[in-house]
Amino acid sequence: MSLFSLGRTVATRGALQFVEQHGIDHVALIFRHASGDWGDLDKDDVKANQDAVAYGGRIFSSYVFPQGKLYILTEADRSSTCLMCAEEY
């Protein structure tokens, strides 16, 4: 169940290469993000996401893999959600 609108879902070239190269299900990551499983965040970032869901604001997720890290960012206006590699942020 999605807690918020994702808007247009996009991914960077680097993120698409990363998930393909390492056999990562990027769709499952986006579902995790939308359902409130924000991955590897500290308690302050989790609280910021909870507030953003309730009151508006940017929502950010971080997923760590042995090969690297992926981020998912939903814009405050919910117009888009982007999957990207950490170094592309």
Supply the DSSP string of the chain, one letter for each residue: --SS---EEEE-HHHHHHHHHHT--HHHHHHHHHTT--BS--HHHHHHHHHHHHH---EEEEEEETTEEEEEEE-TTSSEEEEEEGGG-
What pLDDT, on a 0 to 100 scale, did the predictor assign at position 89? 86
**Each residue's pLDDT tens digit, 28-75:** 999 999 999 999 999 999 999 999 999 999 999 999 999 999 999 999
**Across the chain, what does the average pLDDT equal?**
97
Provide the domain count of the chain. Answer: 1
User: For residue 13, what pLDDT band results from cuts at 50, 70 and 90?
Assistant: very high
| Region 2-10 average pLDDT | 97
Domain assignment of residue 51, given as a range: 8-88
Query: Is 82's pLDDT higher than 90?
Result: yes
What pLDDT, on a 0 to 100 scale, did the predictor assign at position 1? 81
Is the residue at 69 inside a domain? yes
Is the residue at 80 inside a domain? yes
Is the residue at 63 inside a domain? yes
